[in-house]
Each structure stands twice: as C-alpha cells, then as structure tokens.
Chains A and B, each alone.
Chain A
Amino acid sequence: MNLLWLQASGCGGCTMSLLCAENPNVFDTLADAGIDVLWHPALSLDSGADVRALLDRITAQEVALDLLCVEGAIARGPRGTGRYQMLTGTGRAMLDWVRDLAPLARHVVAVGSCAAFGGVTSAGDNPSDAVGLHYEGSHPGGLLPPEFRDRAGLPVINVAGCPTHPGWVLETLMLLASGTLGADDLDGYARPRFFADHLVHHGCPKNEFYEYKASARDLSEMGCMMEHLGCIGTQAVGDCNIRPWNGSGSCTSGGYPCINCTAPEFENPRHAFTQTPKLAGIPVGLPTDMPKAWFMALASLSKAATPERIARNAVSDRVDVPPSLRKPRP
C-alpha cells in the first residue's frame, strides 16, 4: 500500500514520537506491513522538484494513494486563504492540497489531535483559524464536510493524542493495510477503539491514592492529582498507563497530570492545566459515567478510611511509609 504523509499546521511531534517505536523499529514495521512510503517530509530523500512531480502524478491518479496521513491542523487564515501555511514550491496552500488529495485516498488518517480536531494549533483565539480534517473542535465538519467518507466508506480516522503514541499510529496503519479496521472499530470521534476504549486511569500508578482520594497538593508529591492538580485521567481516553511510553512512562507516572490530550478542545480547558477547577471546594468534572452523589459519598467514605501509609505518602515526594509486612505465622 502506498502512503503519503503531509505535515500541516503542527509541531511535527507525532512523527518524532513515531520514531520512538520499538520492537521492531518504525521502518521495519512499515515495511513488514507492506506499506510503501511515497513521501514523508521528515524521512524521505526527495525534495523540491521531485516532490512536486510526485504530487502531480498522484493528483493525475497515475499513482494510487492508499493511505493519506495528515499531521497537524489545517490553517484557514488569513482571511480564508490558507496562506498561513503554504506547501512551498507549489504556490498553493496546504488547505488546498489536502482538500484535493483526501477524496483520492483509500483511507485518510488524521495523525494527532491537531489534524483530528484542531488541537493546540487552534488554542486560545485560534490565531491561524486552524481546524481539524473532519472536525472543528468537537463539532463534525472541519476542512472536509461531515458527510465525507473515504473510498472504503470510512470517515477520517482520528488517531488523536498530543503527541500520538507510536503504537497507536502503527497499529492503525497495520489494520488498514490488512483491511481489518471497520466503522465499528472507531469511537464516536472516529478514534480507533483499540486505544480509545481505555481510560488513562486504567493502570495509573496512582490508583491506590485515587481509591482513597489521597491527593497530592503540589506537583512532585506522589498522591492522586485529580482533586487539586487538574488530572482528568479518569475521563480521558487512551491506554497510556497500559502500554508504556518511551520504555516505561506515562504522564501520571512522570508526576504530572493527564490533560486529556486525545480529546477535542483539550487545548482550552477554561482553567489552568495543572489546577483542578472547584465549586464550593468540590472538583468540577467528576467521572462522567457515575452519578455525582454516589461519587461524593464514596469519596468521603474512602477519605475517612485512608490508611496512614497512603495519607502520608500522598503528600511526600517519596515512599515515607512502606507497606506493612504480615507477621510470620507462629
């Protein structure tokens, strides 16, 4: 299968993350899946005139475009021209290129939250009027209209994340290459369910603290970061604490909160990223699939029952109190 990768309005971090793939490395994984990279802006040899010729052959449908991967949001500014990002040497905006190429592709993959929803490129007042391929924030319809479907009948596949995990991207591409990713395998935001059916909370190393609502007050303390430090891992989709990042990591294992980077509009949380918004001392935005009253009742009960070990460790940067040992049997 032929793959064309374009970098639109983004940071290139999803490609950089992709290079962190291990066992096997990214190049072997793609080759083993039968994926031929026609061109990738960071990895291919071709530059300048050769790339322009390739793009012409794709538009003329002389070269099959099986997989179109777009990384980064689409800039529509200034004044709707898209000239905040030109594909250089072509005199055309990236906006026009992606709009022309998407209908030619067998599958269109939005790599990262910028390409999927606009992401950080659309943060604040969205200075470049950026939008996702198939969504504008959480609303269907971005660069492409809501009714867009690829030649195989799928919507734009949103491998969201900021950045994306290399496994998310490669597994999506392998499934597409083997013809085994269908509409039912995508969630309500067209994110592959193999990672979007999990919550970041699953496998979080701070789970025991969460159970007792034993909370860290400041970054660098070991406790749960939901109550004070803005963590929304209980609501954010992603298997970040099940499959590790860079060998063994995740945001929460690194000691900082999950900011829900796989979700549309995560870039504008309406509060500081590392501070939980509260109403009358109670965090706003409790887990979505649980009645609030039950959550509050359980939380106050478990807080009251917090063992000394957990309460003390939660507000320390190290394990001050180790688990107690069973007494030997007589």
Chain B
Amino acid sequence: MSAAKLVVGPFNRVEGDLEVHLDVSDGAVASARVNAPLYRGFERMLEGRDPRDALTITPRICGICSISQSAAAARALAAAIGLEPTSQGAQMAALIHAVENTCDHLTHFYLFFMPDFTRPAYAGHDWHAGVMQRFTAMQGSGARAAVEARAKLMHILGLMAGKWPHTLAIQPGGVTRRPTAAEKARILSTLRGFRRFLAAELFGADPEEFIALTTQGALLDWTRGDAGLFLRAAAQLDLARMGQGAGRYLSFGAYPLAGGFGFARGLWQAGRPGDVALDAITEDLSHAWMLGPRAHPAQGLTEPDEAMRETAYSWCKAPRLAGQAVECGALARQVIDGHPLARDLAAQGGGVLARVGARLLEIARTQLLMEALAQGIDPQEAFMIQGDIPAQGAGAGLVEAARGALGHWLRIEGGRIASYQIIAPTTWNFSPRDETGQPGPLEAALVGAEVRPGEQTPLTVQHIVRSFDPCMVCTVH
C-alpha cells in the first residue's frame, strides 16, 4: 500500500487561486482539503457605508460574476425598501444577467475546462487532434471563436449596462436605462448572431435540438460541434463516473420575473424536489480562519483569525442547509427546474460529465430565454421606479450566478449598513469541513479520484475541480 500527500497549486483557470491538499493512497485520493487562499474583507468594507454603495462595491467582489453580485445587492436593497422593480425593469435586469451567465458558461467551457484535454497525457486518443486544434490555450480556433462570440454578445451589456464588468445599471427599482425600439432591434440582432455561433461552433445544431436530449446516453451519442468533441472524450474517459456528487442540489431560482422564475427555486435531495428552508442556512466557522459562532447569515460575522489557527485551513466559511452540504450550479438549476436530461445526469451520479453537460444544456436553454426576454421589451413602459432607503431595515437578495446560489443579507441601522453578509456559489461548493467533520461538496467529490504514478498535479483532480467552474475570488470575498 502506497501513501502520499500532495499539495496542488497554483491551481489556475479557477477565477482566482486555489490550493488542494490530497491524501493519496493506492493510486486514488483518500481525502481532500480545499483552501481558498485570498481574504479581502468585502463584508467589513461595507459596514458603516450608505446602503446604496453596496451597488458599487459588491460587483467588484468578482470580475466574472459582477452582474450577479449587482443583482443580489439590488434585490437585498429592494427587500429592505419594500420595493419591487417594474415589470420591464425586472425583465431587462434578467436579460443583462442572462448575458453574463451565458458568457461565463462559454468562458468556462472554452478557456477554463477544455484546455486540460489538450495535455500530452491524452495524445493517444482519437479526439486529441481535434481538441488540440479547437482548445489549445490562447491559440485554439475554438477559443478564438468563443472570445469573439462572447465579446459580441456583450454588446448587449455595452448598450444596456454601460460596460462589463462592474455596471451600476441594475438598481432596486429596475434598470437605469430605457431602450428604444431601435435598440430592441439591435439586441435581437445580437442574439441572432450568438445563435449562429451556437449552431455553427458549439452544438453544430440549433440549440433546440440539444435541449431535446433527455438521457445521459443520448447526450454521450451527440457528435456535432465542440460539444461533440467534449462528449467523445467524456465517453472514453468515463467522465460520468468521475467526481460524483452527493445528489443534494440547491437553487435560489434564476431570473425573478413578474410571472415567476426563469429557472425554478428549490432543493433536490434523495431524487425528490423540495422547498428551500432559507432560515435553515448557517455558516460554520470550525475549519475557517474566521472567529465567531455558527450563525445564519442575517446574524453572521466576518472576523478573520489573524493567528490562522492550526485547526483551520481555509478563509472560506462552510455554509450548510439544515446541517447539510449542498451543491449548486448549472446542474443543480437544471435538475430543480425539471429538465429531463439534467435529472438523468443527476440520477447517474452527477459527476464531471453531468456538471459540464448541464452547463451546455443551460447555454442552449438560456439562449431561448434571452430571445424571449428581448422580444418582450416594451420601450413604452417604465424601466425603473424610485424608492427611499429606510433608516432601519433588513433584506436578503437571493439570485443565481452562473456558478450557483448567491445570497446577500443586509441590515440597515441609522441609514447606514450595519451588517452585510454574502454567501457565494463557490462558498457552498468549495467549503471546508464543518464541526461534524462533514466535508464540502468538492472535498467529497474528490475522494476516489485517480492519481497516476508520478503525477504531482493529477489530471483527474483538475477535471473534477474545474467541472464545478469555481470562482475563487467570490468564495471568501
């Protein structure tokens, strides 16, 4: 029996940096500890400020989920004011947010996840030459096509959000800019351009055809486009079995609109849907370099342990829902929203294939959603209403970032921010152990991962980590 300890880092293409400590035994990971190595203290920066400043400060937590942070801050403020954005304002905010989420999925697939399959270790496979041509880091023809398609899709953000990242366009009462009918036509035209990219490059087919898939088997039979390249590799490398999850999924519900969510809110466990008990969310600090008791985020504290005690190993708190670690992200959203393909992927174990496949599915579904949102723009209506920030109040802003459930919990006293707590998607997914010793979702998913002789930065570990599409700058914030 052979045993070894590995420290993997710098761990790149994870929007920030990450350190993974592995205990390896007999060629497989026996246990993993995940360290988020960056603390900036955003929650502390916000204390004492004018509540509206959250709209400027919180997007800057993250350069890749910036609009998600905006949307959560705007919703938290709206809740504290007791304000609902206008119907058109909510719809435009959803469109802006959907553009960011789609771009994030695209960036993940082409720039963060797929380059790992270009490594020489895979040179013998029949898909390797195709993957090299499309996904070689900073050079592949697919990577180039994807950054160009992404930049063009973001013209919708230039038009409606001023710039990306770090817009102030999303406000509690809606959005700061009303589009004209001509601008609506431009938005639709940009979306048609992105549809052409999806059809020509990513899926090799209309997104509707990909959305019509209902089983893991049918997904693995998909051969067209860049998705087909990935799926061939996935079938040969058995990515379905790699990095399987616990089957507990959380979604706060994406794109709140007058008629309900674009993708549903809910909890999925033991193969069944349920409601999210928002009061049952707590953050455990037992293995984080943070001081204070386990608490609901409305009562939470962010007090870094400057001594960095030995018994902790990450700046990341450990969020739990009713004491359980839960996974969030595109797979969770699509499972909870009831898409048959996502439900089957989860039923088959929810591994690397499931997470990446669900992200592709969500790109296709979000294209249709964006088209519907853009069609629904009515330039005659009001896109924003005003509301005054109360002297005392509290509110939560719960949204879905590309990577999953994002929550902001705000308390206002004397017209200033008294408390601001944030739980980001990767805080859930990459949390450390809690006081019961329960590992976070990534830590659990890494157990059993193959480590080949001589590997210092095991490929399987890299696939599993990146299948979550981590956002490390959000994780601790």
Q: Could you list which residues of chain A lie within 8 angstroms of chain B, going by C-beta atoms?
A: 7, 9-17, 19-22, 25-28, 30-31, 37, 39-52, 75, 77-79, 83-90, 120-121, 123-125, 127-128, 130, 162-163, 218-220, 240, 244-257, 259, 261, 267, 271-275, 317-318
Given known contacts A7-B17, A317-B384, A44 and B168 CB-to-CB distance under 8 angstroms: no
Given known contacts A13-B64, A41-B17, A254-B177, A249 and B162 CB-to-CB distance under 8 angstroms: yes
Nearest-CB residue, chain A, relative to B100: A16
Q: Is the CB of B19 within 8 A of A86?
A: yes
Q: Is the CB of A87 within 8 A of B17?
A: yes
Closest 8 pairs between A and B when the two form their complex, measured CB to CB: A254-B162, A13-B63, A127-B41, A88-B9, A89-B9, A246-B158, A48-B457, A249-B158
Q: Is the CB of A44 within 8 A of B61?
A: no
Report Cα–Cα, A128/B289, bound state, in Å. 14
Given known contacts A47-B462, A79-B306, A246 and B157 CB-to-CB distance under 8 angstroms: yes
Report Cα–Cα, A272/B48, bound state, in Å. 11
Nearest-CB residue, chain A, relative to B139: A27
Q: Is the CB of B57 within 8 A of A120?
A: yes
Q: Could you list which residues of chain B lie within 8 angstroms of chain A, going by C-beta atoms?
A: 7-13, 15-19, 35, 37-41, 44-50, 52-53, 55-57, 60-64, 66, 107, 111-112, 115-116, 118-119, 136-139, 143-144, 147-148, 150-152, 154-155, 157-169, 171, 173-178, 180, 304, 306, 308, 315, 379, 382-384, 386, 456-457, 462, 473
13 residue pairs of the A-B complex, CB under 8 angstroms, read A11-B165, A21-B151, A25-B151, A27-B138, A30-B138, A48-B11, A49-B457, A75-B38, A78-B304, A88-B10, A89-B11, A219-B176, A220-B171
Q: Is the CB of B13 within 8 A of A47?
A: yes
Q: Is the CB of A75 within 8 A of B40?
A: yes
How many Å from the CB of A124 to the closest CB on chain B?
Answer: 3
Report Cα–Cα, A133/B47, bound state, in Å. 26
How many Å from the CB of B39 to the closest CB on chain A?
Answer: 5
How many Å from the CB of B89 to the closest CB on chain A?
Answer: 9
How many Å from the CB of B112 to the closest CB on chain A?
Answer: 8
Tell me how many residue pairs across A and B have CB atoms closer than 8 Å. Answer: 280
Q: Is the CB of A249 within 8 A of B151?
A: no
Q: Is the CB of B166 within 8 A of A162?
A: yes
Chain B residues contacting A37 (CB-CB under 8 Å) are 138
Interface centre among A125, A130, A246 (most CB of B within 10 A): A246
Chain A residues contacting B55 (CB-CB under 8 Å) are 273-274
Chain A residues contacting B62 (CB-CB under 8 Å) are 11-13
Q: Is the CB of A251 within 8 A of B52?
A: no
Identify which of B174, B456, B473 contacts A49 (C-beta below 8 A).
B456
Chain A residues contacting B49 (CB-CB under 8 Å) are 124, 272
Report Cα–Cα, A80/B158, bound state, in Å. 40
Report Cα–Cα, A125/B44, bound state, in Å. 8
Given known contacts A89-B8, A259-B56, A45 and B171 CB-to-CB distance under 8 angstroms: no
Chain A residues contacting B147 (CB-CB under 8 Å) are 19, 25-27
Chain B residues contacting A42 (CB-CB under 8 Å) are 12-13, 15, 111-112
Report Cα–Cα, A46/B10, bound state, in Å. 9
Q: Is the CB of A51 within 8 A of B160?
A: no
Chain B residues contacting A219 (CB-CB under 8 Å) are 171, 176, 384
Q: Is the CB of B44 within 8 A of A124?
A: yes
How many Å from the CB of A268 to the closest CB on chain B?
Answer: 9
Identify which of A21, A50, A250, A317 contacts B163 (C-beta below 8 A).
A250
Report Cα–Cα, A246/B158, bound state, in Å. 4
Nearest-CB residue, chain A, relative to B145: A25
Nearest-CB residue, chain A, relative to B12: A41
Chain B residues contacting A254 (CB-CB under 8 Å) are 160-163, 167-169, 176-177
Q: Is the CB of B45 within 8 A of A125?
A: yes
How many Å from the CB of A260 to the closest CB on chain B?
Answer: 11
Report Cα–Cα, A6/B13, bound state, in Å. 12
Report Cα–Cα, A121/B116, bound state, in Å. 31
Report Cα–Cα, A325/B392, bound state, in Å. 51
Report Cα–Cα, A275/B159, bound state, in Å. 24
Report Cα–Cα, A7/B39, bound state, in Å. 13
Nearest-CB residue, chain A, relative to B118: A45
Chain A residues contacting B308 (CB-CB under 8 Å) are 78, 83
Given known contacts A48-B9, A49-B456, A88-B19, A255 and B159 CB-to-CB distance under 8 angstroms: no
Q: Is the CB of A249 within 8 A of B161?
A: yes
Q: Is the CB of B150 within 8 A of A19?
A: yes
Q: Is the CB of A128 within 8 A of B10?
A: no
Q: Is the CB of B12 within 8 A of A27?
A: no
Nearest-CB residue, chain B, relative to A13: B63
Report Cα–Cα, A17/B49, bound state, in Å. 27
Identify which of B10, B46, B155, B315 contacts A247 (C-beta below 8 A).
B155
Report Cα–Cα, A123/B53, bound state, in Å. 11
Report Cα–Cα, A89/B461, bound state, in Å. 15
Q: Is the CB of A163 within 8 A of B160?
A: no
Q: Is the CB of B144 within 8 A of A28?
A: yes
How many Å from the CB of A209 to the closest CB on chain B?
Answer: 15
Taking A12-B63, A220-B384 as known contacts, 19 extra A-B pairs with beta carbons closer than 8 A to each other, sorted by chain A number, are A11-B62, A12-B16, A12-B62, A19-B150, A20-B151, A41-B16, A45-B118, A48-B10, A79-B306, A123-B45, A124-B41, A127-B45, A128-B41, A218-B386, A246-B155, A247-B155, A249-B157, A251-B168, A254-B177
Report Cα–Cα, A44/B107, bound state, in Å. 13
How many Å from the CB of A272 to the closest CB on chain B?
Answer: 4
How many Å from the CB of B218 to the closest CB on chain A?
Answer: 31
Q: Is the CB of B19 within 8 A of A89?
A: yes
Q: Is the CB of A88 within 8 A of B60?
A: no
Nearest-CB residue, chain B, relative to A257: B168
Chain A residues contacting B11 (CB-CB under 8 Å) are 47-48, 88-89
Report Cα–Cα, A169/B199, bound state, in Å. 32
Q: Is the CB of B457 within 8 A of A12?
A: no
How many Å from the CB of A189 to the closest CB on chain B?
Answer: 20
Q: Is the CB of B176 within 8 A of A256?
A: yes
Given known contacts A17-B63, A128-B41, A248 and B137 CB-to-CB distance under 8 angstroms: no
How many Å from the CB of A36 to the closest CB on chain B?
Answer: 10
Chain B residues contacting A10 (CB-CB under 8 Å) are 63, 473
Chain A residues contacting B166 (CB-CB under 8 Å) are 13, 162-163, 261
Q: Is the CB of A220 within 8 A of B383?
A: yes
Given known contacts A7-B16, A13-B66, A88-B19, A45 and B8 CB-to-CB distance under 8 angstroms: no
Q: Is the CB of B56 within 8 A of A273?
A: yes
How many Å from the CB of A27 to the closest CB on chain B?
Answer: 5
How many Å from the CB of A179 to the closest CB on chain B?
Answer: 24
How many Å from the CB of A327 to the closest CB on chain B?
Answer: 27
Nearest-CB residue, chain B, relative to A220: B384
Report Cα–Cα, A14/B173, bound state, in Å. 29
Given known contacts A25-B147, A254-B169, A245 and B53 CB-to-CB distance under 8 angstroms: no
